[in-house]
Every structure is written in structure tokens, then in C-alpha cells.
Chains A and B, each alone.
Chain A
Amino acid sequence: MFLLSICLGSVNFSLSEVLQTLLGHGDANAVHRQIILDFRLPQVLTALLSGAALGTAGLLMQTVFRNPLADPFVLGVNSGASLGVAIVLLAIGPIGLSLTDGLAGSGQMLLIFASSGGAAVTLFIVLLLSRRVDIMSVLIIGLMISYTIGALVSILMFFSMAERLQSFINWSFGDYGNVSWSQMRYFAPAILGGIVLSSLFMKPLDALLLGDRYAESVGTRTKQVRFFVLLGASLLAGTVTGFCGPIGFLGIAAPHLSRYLFQTNNHQVLIPASILVGALLSVSADFVARGPGLDVVLPLNAITALIGAPVIIAALVKQGKMKRLF
């Protein structure tokens, strides 16, 4: 899928051409080389990493909140990011930044800062509050903060020009094509770091499946574990949102699909599985969104749901009923 996704797009390449280019002894022409190495490869790599990150983050959130509907954004990191972006595009933007700047170079970097910053501030507030209340309240606090921020964004949108609105809406569609090699230097380590951090908590996550009291009775420091897991999951979700916009659906779909495939709740299986399933779904969605052979690029978020939802529905229908997860 990875290779297929590099080969096909608005310009198609043969598999051998791509492989040779990737391996460094390409005799392909310079334009092809540039498309493959500087556009396709980072985009597919971004899709891969984002999918892995969202799959993992979704799994962590579902376990911590013991809720099959939880997704990587339950703490409101995506709405925080959207506020950051809305402020840049809708409020500050009119002062100097033009739409075209917003899509390339320093403007792009500004967007990343804005959304990562928005996500980080929201996360900080929710985690700070989460230390004082029980876990179900954290879920509701996250939700309430999302609504509040959503309201602020709506107000910003209300007072904005149509042209600005369009670029904000474009951002909210999600796009893997914005991560250049220079940004990949931050993006990739952040994602890999987040995944490693999460993987460290496989064992206590298993214990959390039993509920807090049992988890504590086998020696788990539940508060501590939860804090780090929420931190890890939100870092993953926040990083992806920061660089690629709010990518929906993958985070909730990948863990469910992994559970369905492996029929277990054991995190030593589920974490790697969610990484793989998330990455696969994500690369596929990106592949379809770029519409091989077409000249249009479809909204990524539409495609993740269009691909993912039928898969989940089919899995559930085949299984007959939703097994109790928690």
C-alpha cells in the first residue's frame, strides 16, 4: 500500500521507477525524482505516521476512559488546535497574512505553530483539571472545553470574510501533504516518541481494564499511569492535528478493527495492531483522497470515514453483536 501510494497520484510512476529512486540509483528524470522524493514520499510517510499515532492514541483513550466511543480527541486537543488556526487565519490573518502565504512556506509553519499551540494549551488545562476529579469527569470536562472552544471558533467564523473561511475549512478537511522534509524532522520524532511512551504502559493499561480498584490492588499507580497515558495520547493526537489538521475517524476505527481482528483486549497485542491498522487505513485514505488518475484532491476527512465506517459496520454485522469491551 505504501509503495502503491507513492506510485499513483496525479502523475503515475511504475513500481520499478519508484523503487530505484527510493534506493538512490535512479536514472529517472529530475522532475519525477523531485515528485517522488519531495512530495510523494513525505506525504505517504506522514500518512503512515499519522495513522499509527491516531490508532495508538485512540486505543489509549478508549482504555483509560473505558469507553468504546472515546477517540484521540476526547480531551479537546483538536478543538484547541482549531482555535489556534482560526485565530491565525480568521483573526490575525487579515492583518498581514494572505491566503496564498497560508499554504506555503512560513505561513504553513505559522499554522503548525498555531494549531500545536492551541492543542497544547487545551491539553494543559484539561490535564491540570483532571488531577482534581475522577476519570468520568475528565471525559465530560474535555467535552465541555471542546464545546466552549467550538463556540469561540464559530464566533470568529461569523465575523470572517468568505475567502478566509474557505482556507479555514480547507484546514479542517485534513491534509497529509503539508509536511515537508524539514518539518518531518520534528514531526517524525514527536510521533515515534509518543508511540514509545505509550508502549511503556502496556502492562498498567491491561490492569486498568479491571477498573481502578482492582488495578490498584495489583500495585498499579492508577493516577500516575493515567496522567502519562493521557499525555502520550494527547501528544500524538496534538502533533498530528498540528501538522495535518484534525484527522477524524482513524483514531476510533483502528482500535475497534484491531480488537475485531485479534479478538483480545491485551495491550501487548492491541498497541502494535492499532499502529499497523491505523497506518494502513491512513495510507489507504490518503491514496484515495488524492484520486489517482484524477486532477482533484478530495477532503481527507471525508475519505477516512467513507473507507473506515463501512469496514467497522461490516465487522460488527458479521460478528452479530458488539462484544462487551470494558
Chain B
Amino acid sequence: MGAQVKITAKQLSIGYQHSAGETIVASGLDCSLRGGEFVCLLGPNGAGKSTLIRTLAGMQKPLAGELRLSGKVMRDIAPRERARAVSVVLTEAMPSGMMDAYSLVSLGRHPYSGWFGGLTGQDRERIDWSIDAVGARPLANRQVSELSDGERQKISIARALAQEAKLMLLDEPTAFLDLPRRVELMSILRNLAHQENLALLLSTHDLDLALRFADRLWLMTPEGNLLEGAPEALALNGQFAEVFATENLDWDANSGSFLAHPVACLKVRLEGEGIERVWTQRALERLGFGISEDDGKAAFSLKVHKDVWEVERFGLIQNFENIESLIEWIRSVDWRE
């Protein structure tokens, strides 16, 4: 199938069938995934990200619409053939009792191995490659149950890679990882998509990382629509803000992040430059202050020098030698007066 592998969905309705009828999670979805592309799927909780991923993986029937894998209708593809084309990393914990990491990864070779699951040299080569690709070589002989969340997630991705599928769908793989581990994982995945020409779809709540790493974003709206585009385009045209903004939360297009609505409306006149200024501003914003250019409306003014923070309030000047003591002072003052 090679480079042409792609998933296309037209007017797709996703959701669940049960005896009482259907629960439609989202409908009218048009989307496609191509090789060499790292796509992040974003959306509020309950928008249907996991359902979409399972549907695209062929694990759940679409309620309506058309879903094709490289031109073939998804539900007509035999399980084994589908497994060679699509691999998944799911949110559910991979049960892992009494199994070493290598064995777990080797289960990814099932779509290729024979009746009894014996591994050929080629299989072992691909398993080794997968383990190296996620940087998990030191973990290979350890018991999966002894690994940390981050290590287990790597092994889980290596298992999917071993499947040698051109499409990989990952459901919140970064959910339980600390920030450095998330960044590491995102960059591993993006590089794999580009170097191996994989079509990689990853759902995440990590908007910041998605904006930094994704080639394209899919935004699922609470109403069950799908918006698609380059991260920067979605930020500029305001769609990003539309999907995520709530009563208490603002999308700040300048910094590319979310801010809670300021509690107080006090302003500070801030002078200074460099990294000290950046972090001072962040501290002020966190504490509920806006930044003002106008002397008259400011509660106090603050000059940031290299090693000293100079505060002027009611004509009195006070110096702080570090940001810690400045923050302590700001919190100790009753600003309501």
C-alpha cells in the first residue's frame, strides 16, 4: 500500500449502537489522514475524541457515512489486513502481568506471524527497530509491570510500531506523563511521522504541545463538528478560542495559552526587560494584576533591573533582591483598600 495509505471519512457519524437505539456523539465529519503527517486531535472532554479514534481504527462501526482505508471500505477489510495497515495506542491500560517488555512489543507482529506466532528474523528486526525508535532499549528485558507510566507508554508505542502499519492512532498517550516526558514523546512521534512517512493521529488535552508539534490540528467542537487546519491558522481565525473558551477561561492569542479571567482589575506599571521581566509579568498576572502603561491607574509601579526589583508605591520606594520576596510582599498587602 505504501505511501498512498490514507484514511478518508465522508459525512461520518460516530457513536454507539445499543438495544434502545443509537447515541450519536458527532456527525457530518469530513476528514482525511495522509502519510507523513502528524495530526493532533483536540477537543473538550466528551466531544468524542476516543470514539472518533476507535471508529477510524475500524474497531467500532460508524453509524452513518463513509469510511475508507486506501480506497477500500473499512468494514470490508479482513481483521488481519486491517491490522497491517492501522495500529493503535489506547487509553486503557495494557494488561501486563508476567510479561517482559520485549514480549509485549513482539505481540505487534501478530498480523504477520504464522499460526503459532513464531517469530522470524525479519520479525525480530522490526521489533528491535521499534524498541530503538522510541528509545526503550534499556527497558526491553524488564517486566512491564515494573515500568513507570512513561516507560510503559513507550513500550506501548513500540508495540504499535512493530505492527508496521502506515497509520497509527493514539488516544491520549501523554495523559499520565510529566511535562519533559510529554515533550520527548511528542517529538519522537512527530519525527517518526516525518521520517517513516506515517500518518499519525494523536488525541490530547495538551493544547500547548499540540500547537507546537502538530502539522495539522483537528478540533472537535462540543456540538460534534470537526474543524481542521494548521495550528497557526486555527489560532489566527479564532476557531481555537471558540472551541475552548468558557466563562472563566480566555484563550490568549498573544501567548498561545489559556488564562483564567483576572480576579482583580488592578494594574501595575511595569518597566524593564529580559527574562526577568517575562517572569515578573507572569507572576503579576498569576496574582491577578494587569499590566498598564499609564502611571495614573496603576496601583504601584515596578522597575525590573538585573538583580533588583524596585517598587514605587505612594511615592515610597522599596527594593526586593529576588522575585520570591517581591511575590511575598505583593501577597501580604491588602489591595482592596
Contact = CB atoms under 8 A, between A and B. Distances in A.
Contacts of B78: 219
B59 to A, nearest CB: 6
A209 B95 contact: yes
Contact of B87 (A217, A220, A221, A264): A217
A158 interface: no
B83 A326 contact: no
A259 interface: yes
Nearest to A68: B97
Nearest to A266: B103
Contact of A259 (B59, B86, B94, B98): B98
Given A202-B117, A213-B59, A324-B145, A265 B83 contact: no
A80 to B, nearest CB: 29
A218 interface: yes
Given A219-B111, A220-B79, A202 B116 contact: yes
B328 to A, nearest CB: 47
Nearest to A325: B97
Interface in A277-326: 323-326
* Band of interface residues on B: 20 to 34
B108 interface: yes
Given A266-B103, A323-B145, A203 B95 contact: no
Given A202-B117, A268-B116, A220 B110 contact: yes
B127 to A, nearest CB: 13
A323 B146 CA distance: 10
Interface string B100-130: 0001000110110101110000000000000
A263 interface: yes
B204 interface: no
- For B83, B86, B95, the residue with the greatest tally of chain A CB atoms inside 10 Å of its CB is B95
A40 B321 CA distance: 94
A218 B95 contact: no
B141 interface: no
A203 B115 contact: yes
Given A213-B90, A219-B111, A220-B110, A263 B83 contact: no
B110 A218 contact: yes
A17 interface: no
A6 B145 CA distance: 44
A209 B95 CA distance: 7
Nearest to B118: A268
B95 A66 contact: yes
Instruction: Tell me what chain A mostly uses at the interface: helix, strand, loop, or mixed.
Output: loop
A323 B59 CA distance: 30
Contact of B117 (A206, A216, A217, A263): A206
Contact of A203 (B57, B86, B110): B110
- For A207, A210, A259, the residue with the greatest tally of chain B CB atoms inside 10 Å of its CB is A210
A200 interface: yes
A105 interface: no
A323 B94 contact: no
A13 interface: no
A214 interface: yes
B163 A218 contact: yes
Contacts of B331: none
Given A202-B117, A324-B145, A209 B99 contact: yes
A66 B97 CA distance: 11
Contacts of A263: 98
B78 to A, nearest CB: 8
Contact of B107 (A218, A323, A324): A218
Given A213-B90, A217-B83, A207 B110 contact: yes
Nearest to A218: B110
A225 to B, nearest CB: 11
B205 interface: no
B96 interface: yes
Contacts of B90: 213-214, 217
A254 to B, nearest CB: 16
Interface in B49-90: 54, 57, 59, 78-84, 86-88, 90
A94 interface: no
B334 interface: no
Given A200-B115, A211-B92, A268-B117, A219 B97 contact: no
Given A213-B59, A216-B59, A221 B94 contact: no
The 8 closest A-B pairs by CB, nearest first: A219-B83, A203-B117, A219-B80, A324-B97, A218-B110, A325-B97, A265-B98, A219-B79
Given A209-B97, A219-B81, 9 more contacts: A203-B116, A203-B117, A211-B94, A213-B54, A213-B90, A217-B57, A218-B107, A219-B80, A264-B103
30 contacts: A200-B115, A202-B117, A203-B110, A203-B117, A206-B107, A206-B117, A210-B95, A211-B95, A213-B59, A213-B90, A213-B92, A216-B79, A217-B88, A218-B107, A218-B111, A218-B163, A219-B79, A219-B80, A219-B83, A219-B84, A220-B110, A263-B98, A268-B116, A268-B117, A323-B145, A324-B96, A324-B97, A324-B98, A324-B145, A326-B95
